[in-house]
Amino acid sequence: MSVKKIAKKDFVEFVETLIRKERVFGVQAKGDRFDFAPLESAQDLRLDYDVTLQPPKKFFQPPAEVLMTFEVGGGYQSQYDDEPFVLLGVHPYDMVAINQMDELFSQDNYDTHYMTRRNNATIVACDVAKPSENVFASSMGTAVVKSGYDVLLTDIGDSYVCEAATEKGEKLMAAAKKAVPADDAALKSREAVWAKNKKGLNRHELKCDPAYLPKLLAKAYKHPVWEERAKTCFSCGSCNQVCPTCYCFNVQDDVNWDMKTGKRERAWDGCLLDGFTKVAGEHEFRKQRADRFRHRIYRKGMYVPEKIGGQIACVGCGRCVAACLPDIANPVAVYNRLIDDLGIG
Amino acid sequence: MIANLYQPINGEIVEIIDESPTIKSFVIVPQSAFSFATGQFVELTLPGEGEAPFTPSSSPTVTEKMEITIMKAGRVTERLHNCAKGQPIGIRGPYGNGYPIDEFVGKHVYIVGGGVGLAPIRSLFLTLVDRIGDFKSVVCRFGARTPADFIYKDALLGPWQKLDGVNIKLTVDQANGDWSGNVGVVTTILNPKDVDIANAVAVVCGPPIMMKFATVNLLEYGFDPKTVYLSMEKNMSCGVGKCGHCMLGKYYVCKDGPVFTYDQVCKYPKIWE
């Protein structure tokens, strides 16, 4: 697959032609923050962003989606959003999260709704140009990414190095007529960006190798940190909502006004929310906030990793740190506290 | 295209049996033969109302219809209780692992059940009785709140008692009417001498609090944690190990369970809460 270089002004032109041909979503300013949104002008694309408010998971698992429509007492009709689209500007840590979601939604029982969207996506990732206030991707080994994307862009000053990693990526970049093969100097500059980010995206520093986290947690079920932190938890689920690796959902039926037709939908849910585990008869598992708080940390650091070859399901984006009002969600603070008390090894 | 995981097949309620003041059994005929292993569960859709998970209480050898016993306990179950014969219904599944019957072969099967927990146990019981010669014995210890709350009363007090290789004892929390049996929670009729524990497996299904104390007793009697099979029902929703509601430690109860050995789950905190 090819590695090219394209001047920034030519890249803007390329994105303009892309927008005219395809359904394109890209990172844009939203007030003084950033978010993924439909891209109407290449000028609006902000590849110099620090972090987006929401991770790109919404393009593959929307906050709410129709799984099928039905007639009451009659048949069911599956519904799919199967229009191809291009996603511009996915940071490496978010790409790692998407790779994990791909594995989770395709393993055991293949989820056609997620995978239809995923297979229709062309992902243009981009290396981080400006670290966000709470990023700790360097600690989690997710500051750079080597797979999952179709194209990877790296800002090297006046131009981007663009690596097409798949057929889809090659096809996309073929439209960038002014791109030239990347020279050694460009590749060296890209290496320098990677080296810098591997160390520099680290506003919170984890005191151990992430691979050690499952072992750390195995001895921490009864640690006081869960109670201490959860004391001020609002059970608001903000940490779940902004997390690129949270994918819990609820399936529910909704009947239309005609009382004859309806739809089965799924919508995001969150393990921190009160009622998440409530069953008929009003029994609620993990009713205590501390139990729910602990569950989230264990899910990221121990339970999900077992399903995805040991990778930790926290990618260090830092969004939960920023979103948590009582400031208790920071996973690094929790892990480091456990390391301080329980040691390593 | 691979199938939509969330799409049910159609079925119809053909018979409704009153089991107790709050529990009914529904006989459901699916549009096509529906196979399941005993202990697996299905998601039932009441069109327009939503879904809920239930374990069939009938024998898995019958595939043209299934029986599901349902306690009125929440939104969907209340609507189900208001249904009449002929009600169209959706079915997804079967999901989960079910009981590992082949691992019970050559052993005593010690079954402890309570309340509506007898529903999945009935399916297990019928499966075991079908091949009773494969097991040393099937010993049942069942409890209910009052005599009226016992489901499958006719079978429990009649024909099941007379089956070769089967031993059944019942208890109620509170006696009334002409109840002449034991009074007390189900653990009061458990006895380490009921079976040869070294050659036995235990199966526990019922309300969480009952399961907790029954399990404590069984372990005290000397049951190996690997031989105590628990139905760890949680808020199973998607049924396919994705939606996260039923997680018990690293397990998705809907996919990895709902039957777990105590050994599998004991390391997790508060498994009954």
Assess contact for A106 and A115: CB atoms under 8 A. Answer: yes
Domain check: are B107 and B90 in the same one?
Answer: no
Domain check: are B32 and B129 in the same one?
Answer: no
Cα separation of B136 and A109, whole Å? Answer: 38
Structural domain that includes position B154: 101-231
Which residues, at least 6 apart from A32, have a Cβ–Cβ distance to it below 8 Å? none
Q: For A66-112, what is each residue's pLDDT tens digit?
A: 999 998 877 889 999 999 999 999 999 999 999 999 999 999 899 99
> Which run of H or of E encompasses A28?
strand A24-30
Q: Has the ipTM of the complex gone over 0.90?
A: no
Which residues of chain B make contact with A302, given a CB cutoff of 8 A?
250
CATH of the domain at B121: 3.40.50.80
Give a yes or no: residue B202 inside a domain: yes
Give a yes or no: residue B21 inside a domain: yes
pLDDT for the residue numbered A282: 74
Domain check: are B48 and B117 in the same one?
Answer: no
Give a yes or no: residue B67 inside a domain: yes
Q: Tell me: pLDDT of A160 over 90.
A: yes
**Span B132-142, mean pLDDT?**
97
Which residues of chain A make contact with B249, given a CB cutoff of 8 A?
298, 303
pLDDT confidence tier of residue B233, bands split at 50, 70 and 90: confident
Strands B88-95 and B9-20: antiparallel
Give a yes or no: residue B39 inside a domain: yes
pLDDT for the residue numbered B75: 86
A95 beta partners: none
Q: Measure Cα distances from B184 to A21, B143, B149, B172, B173 in Å.
A: 74, 8, 14, 6, 5
Give a yes or no: residue B253 inside a domain: no
The answer to whether A255 contacts B240, with C-beta atoms less than 8 Å apart, is: no
| Residue in B1, B5, B49 nearest the CB of A253 | B49
The answer to whether B243 contacts A110, with C-beta atoms less than 8 Å apart, is: no
Domain check: are B43 and B115 in the same one?
Answer: no
Q: Measure Cα distances from A115 to A63, A65, A110, B3 in Å.
A: 16, 14, 8, 12
A251 beta partners: A266
Domain check: are B114 and B219 in the same one?
Answer: yes
Cα separation of A244 and B138, whole Å? Answer: 50
**Span B202-218, mean pLDDT?**
95
Assess contact for B83 and B12: CB atoms under 8 A. Answer: no
Q: For A303-331, what is each residue's pLDDT tens digit?
A: 999 999 999 999 999 999 999 999 999 99
Domain ranges of chain A: 3-200, 210-342
Q: For B247-272, what is each residue's pLDDT tens digit?
A: 998 999 999 999 999 999 999 988 88
Q: Among residues 272-291 of chain A, which lie with CB inside 8 Å of chain B?
A: 276-281, 283, 285-287, 291
pLDDT for the residue numbered B1: 55
Task: For the full predicted model, state whether its pTM sits above 0.95.
Answer: no
Cα separation of B80 and B55, whole Å? Answer: 15
Which residues, at least 6 apart from B264, have a Cβ–Cβ distance to it below 8 Å? B251
Whether A336 contacts chain B with CB within 8 A = no
Cα separation of B192 and B223, whole Å? Answer: 9
CATH of the domain at B13: 2.40.30.10
pLDDT for the residue numbered B3: 84
A209 to chain B, closest Cα gap in Å: 21
pLDDT confidence tier of residue B234, bands split at 50, 70 and 90: confident
Give a yes or no: residue B270 inside a domain: no
Domain check: are B79 and B127 in the same one?
Answer: no
Of B191, B178, B56, B75, nearest to B125 (Cα)? B56
Cα separation of A141 and B172, whole Å? Answer: 58
Cα separation of A321 and A225, whole Å? Answer: 17
Please state, as a whole number, how many other Cβ atoms lie within 10 Å of the Cβ of residue A236. Answer: 16
Give a yes or no: residue B241 inside a domain: no
Number of domains in chain B: 2
Minimum mean pLDDT among A143-147, A226-230, A271-275: which range? A271-275
Tally C-beta pairs within 8 A across A and B: 120
Cα separation of A167 and A182, whole Å? Answer: 18
pLDDT, chain B, mean: 93
Domain check: are B28 and B74 in the same one?
Answer: yes
Domain check: are B36 and B116 in the same one?
Answer: no
Domain check: are B201 and B119 in the same one?
Answer: yes
**Span A267-290, mean pLDDT?**
87
Domain check: are B74 and B164 in the same one?
Answer: no
Q: What's at A13, amino acid-wise? A: E
Domain check: are B113 and B135 in the same one?
Answer: yes
Whether A226 contacts chain B with CB within 8 A = no
**Span A283-300, mean pLDDT?**
92
Assess contact for A46 and A235: CB atoms under 8 A. Answer: no
Give a yes or no: residue B2 inside a domain: no
Q: For B2-39, what is each residue's pLDDT tens digit?
A: 688 998 999 999 999 999 889 999 999 999 889 999 99
**Span B96-115, mean pLDDT?**
96
Domain check: are B178 and B220 in the same one?
Answer: yes
